[in-house]
Amino acid sequence: MKFCVCKNRNAQVWVETVLYTLIAFTIIGLVLTYVKPEIEKFQDKAVIKQSITIMSDLDSKISEVEKNGEGNKRVLDVAIKKGYLRIEGLNDSLVFEIESIYPYTEPGEKYYEQGIEISTLEKSGKNKITLLSNYSETLNITYIGKEETKILPQSSTFYRISIENNGQANQNKTEIEIGIV
């Protein structure tokens, strides 16, 4: 009889261990189900704030080059961790787009921060955040002297963006040439 009691007790310990482990995994799974999206939202919000800073820095350099006259040039190191930067020569604008689970603004509404137009478009469970700096009223933005579009996707390395004042262009607008060094 003693032998049977010990054998049952060992089996009971193993069953309890397996049950407690399954309960712990279930609790961890439930916590991660709620916490992971919140962490991703927090990370996306930080990336959007960094992107706004990038756009603000670009705007600042463009204004500086414009004010200092023809031939003036600045180089800015830019890290794009998520999304992409689009230099639109035809529209004379800079556009930064990011897909995020965090809605930075109310969908469909335009919001201005640091002189940058920010809008959110809800798209199949995600949000497309667009940051826009439009210079069409005052400047002629070109990419390497051409009226074309250049897309800078996310990268693990920095982009070295050069911004140069090429003087008066058509329609009495200052031509600002943007390029990658």
Instruction: Express each pLDDT in 9-41 by its tens digit.
Output: 778 888 889 999 999 999 999 988 889 989 999
Residue written as token pair 């996306």: 44
Measured distance CA(179)–CA(181) in Å, rounded: 6
Residue 100 has pLDDT above 50, yes or no: yes
Predicted local distance difference test score (pLDDT) of residue 24: 95
- Look at residue 57 and give its three-state secondary structure: helix
Q: Beta strand 174-180 with 159-168: parallel, antiparallel or unpaired? A: antiparallel
Predicted local distance difference test score (pLDDT) of residue 14: 87
Q: What percent of the chain has pLDDT over 70?
A: 94
For residue 180, give both structure tokens. Answer: 């990658």
Predicted local distance difference test score (pLDDT) of residue 90: 92
The model's pTM is 0.81
Count of H helices and E strands in the chain? 1, 10
